[in-house]
Amino acid sequence: MERVLQSIERMLDSAPRAAQSAAIQGIGIGSAGQIDFSTGTVAFAVDTLPGWTGTRIKARTAERFPDLPVIVDNDVNVAAVAEQRIGAASGLRNFICLVLGTGIGGAIVVDGKLVRGTYGGAGELGHVSVDFNGPRCSCGNRGCLELYASGPGIARIAREGSFSFADSRQVIEAWLAGDSQANQVMDIVIRALASGISGFIHTFNPEAVIIGGGVAQAGERFLHSIRQETERRTSAAMWKAVQLEPAAAGNHAGVIGAALQMWHYSVLELRGEGGAG
């Protein structure tokens, strides 16, 4: 948290003096974990972020920068905002974002607005089970999507097949080169993903499912395989209405989206121009 505050300080210092008074409207932050949106506190974060659960991000930022309003949201939620304004979901009002990285994050936009749930935890799409008899997940359930299609999930499948890949990147490289062992691993990954995505499509009837994160950088062949398998598992009318597209707002989507959230809530709301989330 101290590092976050220091980096905000550096950004404020490096902004031109004129811009500081004229243009900086507030501080937008996107964080991993389930974020209580009203208090800006981390309701839950997994073990990869030890001690992050319970962190009062908004309160501590507001204490340090009392002159600026602060808004805190989940990192995939803010990335979805960036995709909606400048990325692959431009102009769309119903879409799902899926980020395949060290875990699997999700965001859901319905009627132009982020679905937050009771306290802000909605959109944990990586913890939707695709195998109720599958391995135990840290959330308590079995066979969560995250156990199959995140980077560590792909490495786990390779390990259980006794294949000699060091990590998910090696699996994907070998798969793209036509390796048969990598093919067996990625076959499981793609079926798990398609099963999950089909469930999201049937639940939300979205216009698009936007897929980003490190694993998705496997590129067009990966996306093509997911499209093919998802089509087989999705009713025809639902499939006809939806596009599966790669994320387009890039590595800075979270930062841009956090700033856009601030803009929306502080500037537009104050002017009474509130619109799409």
Answer yes or no: are the C-beta atoms of 186 and 228 closer than 8 Å: no
Residue 249, interface with Zn ion (CB under 5 A)?
A: no
- What's the closest the beta carbon of residue 88 comes to Zn ion, in angstroms? 26
104 or 108: whose CB is closer to Zn ion?
Answer: 104
- What's the closest the beta carbon of residue 98 comes to Zn ion, in angstroms? 15
3-11, 16-24, 137-145, 182-190 -> range binding Zn ion (CB under 5 A)? 137-145
**Separation between Cα atoms, residue 272 and residue 277, nearest integer Å:** 14
β 104-110/113-114 pair status: antiparallel
Near Zn ion by CB under 5 A: residue from 144, 211, 249, 256: 144
Quick note: the x/- pattern for Zn ion over 71-110, rule CB under 5 A, is ----------------------------------------
Tokens of 84: 């909606």
144 or 242: whose CB is closer to Zn ion?
Answer: 144
**Separation between Cα atoms, residue 138 and residue 148, nearest integer Å:** 14
In sequence order, the 6+-apart residues with CB closer than 8 A to the CB of 211 are 98, 100, 223, 226, 244, 245, 246, 247
1-9, 138-146, 195-203, 233-241 -> range binding Zn ion (CB under 5 A)? 138-146
Answer yes or no: are the C-beta atoms of 41 and 35 closer than 8 Å: yes
Answer yes or no: are the C-beta atoms of 155 and 168 closer than 8 Å: yes
127 or 264: whose CB is closer to Zn ion?
Answer: 127
**Separation between Cα atoms, residue 169 and residue 192, nearest integer Å:** 18
Near Zn ion by CB under 5 A: residue from 139, 223, 255, 276: 139
Residues 104-133 within binding reach of Zn ion (CB under 5 A): 127
Catalog residues that contact Zn ion under the rule CB under 5 A: 127, 137, 139, 141, 144
